[in-house]
Chain A
Amino acid sequence: GAGVSQSPSNKVTEKGKDVELRCDPISGHTALYWYRQSLGQGLEFLIYFQGNSAPDKSGLPSDRFSAERTGGSVSTLTIQRTQQEDSAVYLCASSFAGTREQYFGPGTRLTVT
Chain B
Amino acid sequence: RKEVEQDPGPFNVPEGATVAFNCTYSNSASQSFFWYRQDCRKEPKLLMSVYSSGNEDGRFTAQLNRASQYISLLIRDSKLSDSATYLCVAGARAGTALIFGKGTTLSVSS
Contacts and interface: CB of A to CB of B under 8 A. Distances in A.
A15 to B, nearest CB: 24
A56 B96 contact: yes
Nearest to A45: B97
Interface majority SS (helix, strand, loop, mixed), chain A: loop
Contacts of A58: 97
Nearest to A33: B97
Contact of A56 (B95, B99, B103): B95
Interface residues of A, number: 23
A100 B43 contact: no
A103 B42 CA distance: 13
B49 A101 contact: yes
B98 interface: yes
Interface residues of B toward A: which range? 20 to 34
Contacts of A107: 43
Contact of A91 (B43, B95, B101): B43
A107 B40 CA distance: 13
B97 A43 contact: no
A56 B34 CA distance: 21
Given A42-B102, A43-B87, A43-B100, A101 B95 contact: no
Contact of A42 (B32, B43, B94, B103): B103
A57 B32 CA distance: 21
B46 interface: yes
Interface string B33-56: 010000000111110010000000
A98 B93 CA distance: 11
Contacts of A105: 43
